Amino acid sequence: MLLNIGLAFLGTAVGIIFGAIPGMTATMAVAVFLPMTYAFSLVPALYLLLGLYVGGISGGLIPAILINVPGTPSSVCTGFDGYPMARRGESERALKIGITASFFGGMISLIVLAFLTPPLAKMAIKFSAIEKFLIILFAMTVIAALSKGSMTKGVFAGFLGVLLSLVGELSMNNRMRMVPDFLKNELRSGFQLLPLLIGLFAIAQMFQEAEKGMQSNNLEEGVTVEGAQKFSFADFKGQWVNVLRSSLLGTFMGILPGVGGSAASLIAYSQTKSFSKHPEMMGKGAPEGLIASESSNNGLTGGALVPLLSLGIPGDATTAVLIGAFLLQGIQVGPLFIGQHEDIWNQILLALVVCNVLMFIIMFFPIKLISQVVKVRSARMYPVILLMCIVGAYATRSGVMFDVWCLLFFGIVGFVMNKIGLPTAPFLIGFILGGDLEKYFIEAVKGSNYDLMVFFQRPIALVIWALIAIFLGYSIYDNMKGGALEKMGVKD
Amino acid sequence: MQKMLREWLKIRNMHLFFPYLIGAICLILLAIIIIQRALKCRKDGTPFINFKGYHFFKEGYDKVKLWGSVILFVLYVVCLPILHFAWASVVFIFLFNVLFEMKPGKLFEVKSVLISAVIAFAGSWGVWYLFYQIFNITLP
């Protein structure tokens, strides 16, 4: 247990640093530290990774409040009110309100995770290959529906990911596909998840920062945390409905696959504004805006784990990376997970409690010290991150240099995708789900004597089709409107 | 349809069915993206392909740092099996540090180079020790 808490502490502290440095994200933190989990069994590894996840999401509030630059996309609304508060000499109060709201958001989403996941998984156990295929199709529709208002690009990226996942040998007939002769040995089992996700989320980001000249956070002057008006828990008086609503909105957005933290933060912020008694104060340093943004983005953490642990479908890019940790330990996440690994499930819940408490302790009390993290130069961080990435890629299959080349290749792919506006999160989720999509389709079709009508005969299947139709309808409507989320400024 | 599926999903063809299906879906989606763009261009009165004023990279991007990091990455991977992990990393992490800390018109600052050397040495050997010695993980 001591090792677990130690790793959770390490993960949370490092996650806060990643979150606080603009340009580095929670996803990147989890991806870079995944190789460290080779040395541990699953439970300690999860303490480390969940610490990185919670810390990474929370750390973004520090630069958002102090320098008006969100450390992570999920803190996009934090600066709207946090920065004006800091400008009028209330930075310490703003930071502490944000940290406390983050803590509540994380804990509320954890409660939802604990109560929603087991019944969902129990229901999913009854699914045959037909429903499993349709659930994956549904996940891909949701990704599309919420892809920055650009449905077609989101679906295209998702299916490209699926196509890439098919490279290599099909275990059902041991025949290779889409592999050039000279790479037959290297690509027999296809592209590996770890080099792909580290490349997409860490190396691509490094190239992007290099393009900008590594200037993102070169603060010349010091960062000061002022405490003219002290924080008090009375700041939350009259805000509990806001905390609950924003946390639940964040959790719900997390449950929907492929939705980023920035969407959760923006939607919670706009809802708080519409319910506010003083909407004119929002954006001018109103604590309620800060509370909405921070409780919703931490609400995302528990929410994104719901589809992962009940259906095997990642809720966001970071939980897609967490799948890597389960795969490394040879454990399949999905409907059977909770039933077969009840101890691990309980440990995940405990780990989230520990990480949220640690996040609060690490950030709340030494806030003046922690705030100096925004001065860390990314130019000094990236070379060391690269080192970790190389280790992660090389160790995937215990020493295959081809995987290191894949790391570079997917770094360039991620960089180009960002340039041409193709979202990388649906691409990664498509890659992860592609193999299962094929397997369940073949199983379902063969089991029904090759009759495609089998997908429309069972009642659960019809419900899933109805959900697919609703989300497709929504995405077409949203696309025609030009992307409501995009108009609101959603960036991931 | 049933007959066609039966033929496609015969054990000898099975591996090709999904790649063709997903490939076809990707092509259709690509066509839709192109049509959507064409319609938008027609509505806005802008040309479909317009290279004038188009920048793939950010305007005034840092060519040295971007291309330098790509080239250093390639050389690093090439050198890994030759120099082995720790020594290759010392050399290349130092070069990455120097590259990323480079300021326009001022190639090197002694203090910055020294910090780069310390990070490269401590980082590389530190990571080597942690992963290779303590965690027993295979390194190049």
DSSP-assigned states of every residue in B37-89? HHHHHHHHT--SS--TT--SSPTT--HHHHHHHHHHHHHHHHHHHHH-HHHHH
Confidence band, pLDDT 50/70/90 cuts, at residue B69? very high
Q: How far B48 CA lies from chain A's nearest CA (Å)?
A: 15
Closest CA to A256 of A103, A154, A339: A154
* Pairing state between β A168-170 and A175-177: antiparallel
- C-alpha to C-alpha distance for A39 and A36, rounded to whole angstroms: 6
Q: How many domains does chain A have?
A: 1
Read off the pTM.
0.84
| B81–A contact, CB cutoff 8 A | yes
- Residues A375/A66, Cβ–Cβ less than 8 Å: no
Residue A458 is assigned to a structural domain of this protein: yes
pLDDT tens string, chain A, 492 residues long: the values are 889 999 999 999 999 988 888 778 888 888 888 878 878 888 999 999 999 999 998 998 998 888 887 777 788 888 889 989 888 888 889 999 999 999 999 999 999 999 999 999 888 888 888 988 998 888 887 776 666 557 788 889 999 999 999 999 998 888 999 999 999 999 999 999 888 988 998 899 899 999 988 875 545 555 677 666 778 888 888 889 999 999 999 998 888 876 666 777 888 888 888 888 888 888 888 899 999 999 998 998 899 899 889 888 887 778 888 887 887 777 888 888 888 899 999 999 999 999 999 999 999 988 888 888 777 788 888 999 899 889 888 987 878 999 999 999 999 999 999 998 888 888 888 898 898 899 999 999 888 888 888 899 888 889 989 988 888 887 777 666 655 445 444 444
Q: What amino acid is encoded at A257 in this protein?
A: P
Work out the minimum CA distance from A296 to partner chain B, whole angstroms: 32
Report d(CA A426, CA A429) in Å as an integer: 5
Instruction: Inspect the interface and report whether the beta carbons of B69 and A207 lie closer than 8 Å.
Output: yes
Look at B61 and A382 and tell me if their CB atoms are within 8 Å.
no
Which pLDDT score is estimated for A140?
Answer: 81
B98 touches chain A (CB under 8 A): no
Q: Does A175 touch chain B (CB under 8 A)?
A: yes
pLDDT in tens, A351-384: 999 999 999 999 998 888 888 877 778 888 899 9
Residues B85/B132, Cβ–Cβ less than 8 Å? yes
| A45 burial via Cβ count (<10 Å: 0-12, 13-18, 19+) | buried
Q: Encoding tokens for residue B83?
A: 């120099």
Contact check, Cβ <8 Å, A394/B139: yes
Chain B residues touching A382 at Cβ < 8 A: 96, 100
- Which residue among B18, B65, B66 sits closest to A438, beta carbon to beta carbon? B18
How high is the pLDDT of residue A473? Answer: 82
CA pair distance A53, A18, nearest whole angstrom:
10
Q: Compute the mean pLDDT over every residue in chain B, rounded to the nearest whole number.
A: 88
Residue A477: Cβ-neighbour burial (10 angstroms; 0-12, 13-18, 19+):
exposed
Nearest C-alpha of chain A: how many angstroms from B116? 8
Q: For residue A158, is it within any domain?
A: yes
The answer to whether the CB atoms of B5 and A452 lie below 8 A apart is yes
B77 inside 8 A of chain A by CB = yes
Query: Pick from A14, A106, A3: which is nearest to A370 by CA?
Result: A14
pLDDT greater than 90 at residue B98: yes
* Of A38, A62, A40, A45, the residue nearest A11 (C-alpha): A45
**Closest-CA distance of chain B to residue A132, Å:** 16
A125 and chain B in contact, CB less than 8 A? no
- Host H or E run for residue B35: helix B14-44
CB contact under 8 A, A401 and B140: yes
First to last CA, chain B: 52
Between residues 104 and 133 of chain B, which touch chain A (CB distance below 8 Å)?
Answer: 115, 119-120, 123-124, 127, 131
pLDDT tens digits for B117-134?
Answer: 999 999 999 999 988 888
Asked if A106 contacts A54 with a C-beta cutoff of 8 angstroms, the reply is yes
DSSP-derived secondary structure for B119-132: HHHHHHHHHHIIII
Q: Give residue A261's domain range.
A: 2-216+225-487
Identify the pLDDT of residue A64.
Answer: 87
Which residues of chain B are within 8 Å of residue A178 when distances are taken between CB atoms?
19
Q: Which residues 370-409 on chain A approach chain B with CB closer than 8 angstroms? A: 377, 379-380, 382-384, 386-388, 390-391, 394-395, 398-399, 401, 404-405, 408
Name every chain B residue with its beta carbon within 8 A of the beta carbon of A386.
Answer: 73, 93, 96
A35 in B contact zone (CB under 8 Å): yes
pLDDT of A87 reads 83
User: How many whole angstroms separate alpha carbon A188 and alpha carbon A170?
Assistant: 9
Which among A38, A382, A408 has the least Cβ separation from residue B100? A382
CB pair distance less than 8 Å for A395 and B100: no
A421 within domain boundaries:
yes
Of A39, A399, A450, the CB nearest to B6: A450
Residue B12 burial class via C-beta count within 10 angstroms: exposed 0-12, middle 13-18, buried 19 and up: exposed
Is the pLDDT at B78 greater than 60? The verdict is yes
Q: State the smallest CA–CA distance between residue B110 and chain A in angstroms.
A: 16
So what's the pLDDT on residue A112? 95
- Looking at the domain assignment, is residue A492 inside a domain? no
CA distances from A375 to A200, A379, B96 (A): 26, 11, 20
Lookup: tokens for A356: 């949220």
pLDDT tens digits, B28-63: 999 998 998 888 888 888 887 777 777 888 888 999
Q: Nearest-CA distance from A177 to chain B in Å?
A: 7
| Residues A177, B16: C-beta atoms closer than 8 Å | yes
How many angstroms separate the CA atoms of A194 and A392, rounded?
A: 7
∠A178-A164-B39 over CA atoms, to 5°?
110
Whole-complex ipTM: 0.93
Q: Tell me the nearest-neighbour CA distance from A161 into chain B, angstroms.
A: 10
